[in-house]
């Protein structure tokens, strides 16, 4: 990981997706920080299903899905005073804060009308690499010229992970309870037993019976095909 004071600066670049593969959009500008963020948060979240049967005092939480990862970049500083200069060895001319913000917004925020979506971007900071879309931007202006023009601002950005549908399909296991299953009944099978094999919870048998229009779930016919839907 690269921290403040090293040559590796945070860069944010627009991306394109072709046939499920993400690559940099070389025709678009990229944003490069003059000062690295003070740090970042990387959060993960799991979602659970808590189905409770009639008269059941409690229930075990069952895994349902993995939520997209999130990245929060903390205190990304924009400076227009001239103390920090862009370019090799910091020899470039100072860039007004409003221009730095406009570039950042253009890269991560501005709506892509031709695709009817917000941009997909790549975050790169040293060995850290993340693909996602911006969820929120917060600008905190802290220093101004006498005219009111901002000279310094702190920016907090939140990004939510992007994965193409092809990547999600590759990661999904066919045994996962968040996928629809078609099961052929074998001799000796019972609906509670099949529900336990797929969901690890036999109490789903009433819902599965309803979806399959079973009037008598206790007598399953061998060879019949039943649908087992995703958990809600």
- From the list 105, 86, 102, 93, the residue with the least C-alpha distance to 33 is 86
Non-local CB neighbours of 118 within 8 Å, separated by 6+ positions:
109, 111, 112, 133, 134
Residue 88 is predicted with a pLDDT of 52
CA-to-CA distance for 102 and 105, rounded, in angstroms? 5
Phi–psi pair at 193, nearest 5 degrees? -65, -45
Which distant-in-sequence residues (6+ apart) come within 8 Å of 132 by Cβ?
68, 69, 71, 120, 121, 123, 159, 160, 161, 162
**pLDDT-derived band of residue 56, with 50, 70 and 90 as boundaries?**
low
Q: Which of 56-70, 166-180, 201-215 has the lowest mean pLDDT?
A: 166-180
Mean pLDDT, residues 157-185: 70
Domain boundaries, the chain: 11-169, 174-228
The residues, any chain, with a CB within 8 Å of residue 81's CB and separated by 6 or more, are 94, 143, 151, 152
What distance lies between CA 15 and its chain's CA centroid?
Answer: 15
HSE-CB at 173 with a 13 A cutoff on CA atoms is: 7
Q: What is the mean pLDDT of residues 80-86?
A: 81
- CATH class as words, domain 11-169: mainly beta
- Distant-in-sequence contacts of 145-154, Cβ < 8 A, 24+ apart: 149/96, 149/97, 149/98, 150/80, 150/97, 150/98, 151/79, 151/80, 151/81, 151/97, 152/77, 152/78, 152/79, 152/80, 152/81, 152/97, 153/77, 153/78, 153/97, 153/101, 154/75, 154/76, 154/77, 154/78
Strands (E) located in 50-186: 62-79, 121-125, 128-144, 150-161, 181-184
pTM over the 0.85 mark? no
Architecture label for domain 174-228? Roll (3.10)
pLDDT for res 1: 40
Q: What is the pLDDT of residues 113-139, one digit of tens each?
A: 666 788 999 999 988 999 999 999 999
pLDDT value, residue 161: 93
pLDDT in tens, 36-52: 999 999 999 988 876 66
Among the ranges given (28-42, 76-90, 137-151, 187-201), the one the predictor scored with the smallest mean pLDDT: 76-90
The predicted pLDDT at position 37 comes to 93
Instruction: Give the percent of the chain with pLDDT over 90.
Output: 37
């Amino acid at each position: 990981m690269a921290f403040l004071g090293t040559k590796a600066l945070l860069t944010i670049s627009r991306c394109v997706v072709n046939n499920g593969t993400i690559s940099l959009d070389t025709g678009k500008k990229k944003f490069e920080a003059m000062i690295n963020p003070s740090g970042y948060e990387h959060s993960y979240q799991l979602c659970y299903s808590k189905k409770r049967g009639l008269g059941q005092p409690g229930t075990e939480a069952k895994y349902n899905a993995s939520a997209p990862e999130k990245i929060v970049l903390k205190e990304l500083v924009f400076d227009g005073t001239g103390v920090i200069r862009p370019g090799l060895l910091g020899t470039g001319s100072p860039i007004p804060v409003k221009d730095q913000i406009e570039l950042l917004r253009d890269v991560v925020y501005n709506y892509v009308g031709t695709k009817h979506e917000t941009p997909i971007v790549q975050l790169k900071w040293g060995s850290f690499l993340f693909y996602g879309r911006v969820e929120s931007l917060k600008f905190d202006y802290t220093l101004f010229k006498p005219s009111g023009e901002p000279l310094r601002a702190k920016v907090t950005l939140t990004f939510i992970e992007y994965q193409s549908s092809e990547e999600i399909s590759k990661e999904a296991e066919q045994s996962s309870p968040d996928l629809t299953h078609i099961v052929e009944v074998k001799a000796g099978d019972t609906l509670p037993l099949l529900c336990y094999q797929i969901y690890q919870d036999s109490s789903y048998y009433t819902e599965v019976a309803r979806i399959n229009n079973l009037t008598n779930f206790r007598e399953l016919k061998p060879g019949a095909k039943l649908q087992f839907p995703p958990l809600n």
